[in-house]
Amino acid sequence: MEQRSGLIRARLKGASLSTGQVITFLDAHCECTVGWLEPLLARIKLDRRTVVCPIIDVISDDTFEYMAGSDMTYGGFNWKLNFRWYPVPQREMDRRKGDRTLPIWQCGGTLEIVTCSHVGHVFRKATPYTFPGGTGQIINKNNRRLAEVWMDEFKNFFYIISPGVTKVDYGDISTRTTLRQKLQCKPFSWYLENIRNVETNQCLDNMARKENEKVGIFNCHGMGGNQVFSYTANKEIRTDDLCLDVSKLNGPVMMLKCHHLKGNQLWEYDPVKLTLVHVNSNQCLDKATEEDSQVPSVRDCNGSRSQQWLLRNVTLPEIF
Ligand SMILES: [Mn+2]
């Protein structure tokens, strides 16, 4: 490159000059192991739209010691778009998939982590480079561009959590949005809503409870936060990283890690009857019972108003 242009432009330049059938990108601070490439190529041969990633082993930045990386974690991004390692549930081991890669997922490709391929990587504690305007400024700009092009209404969710991002100038994104249209990429997600019971006028609420606890129900406050749920394209009812899950008749409704395998996390919303049917049990999400007024129940579907739910867009504060 004649001038410093950043990682992605450098990769695109390399891609445009390459002549082979498959492109691999490695950071300068990587070390391949024997047999790293073949399993990656095998997956691409099966489906050319597949983007593959090896297990990333850790090379110590102090001693260059090589340490096997965990195949029980995968790299993803939280709602602040910070990179995080997330644990992979056992039953997900065969189909582990990462998440920043929004364009890959949204545009019909798949991302796979191929666990028999290992590449070592030096993780540094801090970036050794300086960035014009400061590192934070550049990261905010990049994340803002990502959000504007790919995240649809979910970008507001990100902006509320990271208000500093809305202060940066994000430049011209027209070529990116044109590309998204040309590739006919799907929306980031279908809904971001609160889920209100018709009879009681209460909303599903995660009550700041954690994984493996019951989901709650509480008076609708209209402030987003713990009452933000999404009904996803996979027909999950999701609150941040967790999915509503029912494993026996008549409940309870738990918040478990989303496994994307439908099963106990599959809900069918009927926009005419307004019911949320838990498909496996064929029971309906219902208001709280008298015994426990802070959790919704699941009951045999009976057409009552207590089994009707309204999915409404969360009203977001004006932030820019
Ligand atoms: Mn690197």
Distance 26 CA to ligand 1 centre (A): 8
Distance 101 CA to ligand 1 centre (A): 16
What amino acid occupies position 262? K
**CA 312 – CA 306 distance, rounded (Å):** 17
Distance 122 CA to ligand 1 centre (A): 7
Q: Which residues contact 282 (CB under 8 A, 6 or more apart)?
A: 301
Distance 51 CA to ligand 1 centre (A): 18
- Spell 8-39 as b/e; 16+ CB within 10 A means b: eeeeeeeeeeeeeeeeeeeeeebeeeeebeee
- Model pLDDT, residue 49: 81
Distance 124 CA to ligand 1 centre (A): 8
Distance 35 CA to ligand 1 centre (A): 20
Q: Which residues contact 235 (CB under 8 A, 6 or more apart)?
A: 262, 266, 267, 268, 269, 279
**CA 130 – CA 204 distance, rounded (Å):** 46
Tens digit of each residue's pLDDT, the chain (320 residues): 899 888 889 999 999 999 998 999 998 899 999 999 999 999 889 888 888 888 889 899 999 999 887 777 767 676 667 777 766 644 445 444 444 455 666 666 667 778 889 999 998 888 788 888 888 888 899 999 999 998 887 788 788 777 788 888 999 999 999 988 888 776 665 445 678 898 998 999 999 899 999 999 999 887 677 888 888 778 899 887 799 999 999 999 999 998 888 999 999 988 788 899 999 999 999 999 988 999 999 999 999 999 999 887 654 444 33
Dihedral of CA 83/88/89/91: which sign? positive
Distance 15 CA to ligand 1 centre (A): 18
For 275-284, which contacts have Cβ atoms below 8 Å and span 24 or more sequence positions? Answer: 275/301, 275/307, 275/308, 275/309, 276/195, 276/237, 276/309, 277/301, 278/246, 279/235, 280/246, 281/246, 281/248, 281/249, 283/246, 283/249, 283/250
- Model pLDDT, residue 100: 46
Distance 29 CA to ligand 1 centre (A): 6
Distance 30 CA to ligand 1 centre (A): 7
283-288 sheet: strands from edge to edge: 267-270, 275-278, 283-288, 296-300
Distance 59 CA to ligand 1 centre (A): 11
- What is the token pair recorded at 247? 């494993």
- Model pLDDT, residue 86: 67
Distance 143 CA to ligand 1 centre (A): 18
Distance 136 CA to ligand 1 centre (A): 18
Distance 110 CA to ligand 1 centre (A): 22
- Model pLDDT, residue 30: 94
Do residues 266 and 277 make contact, with C-beta atoms less than 8 angstroms apart?
A: no
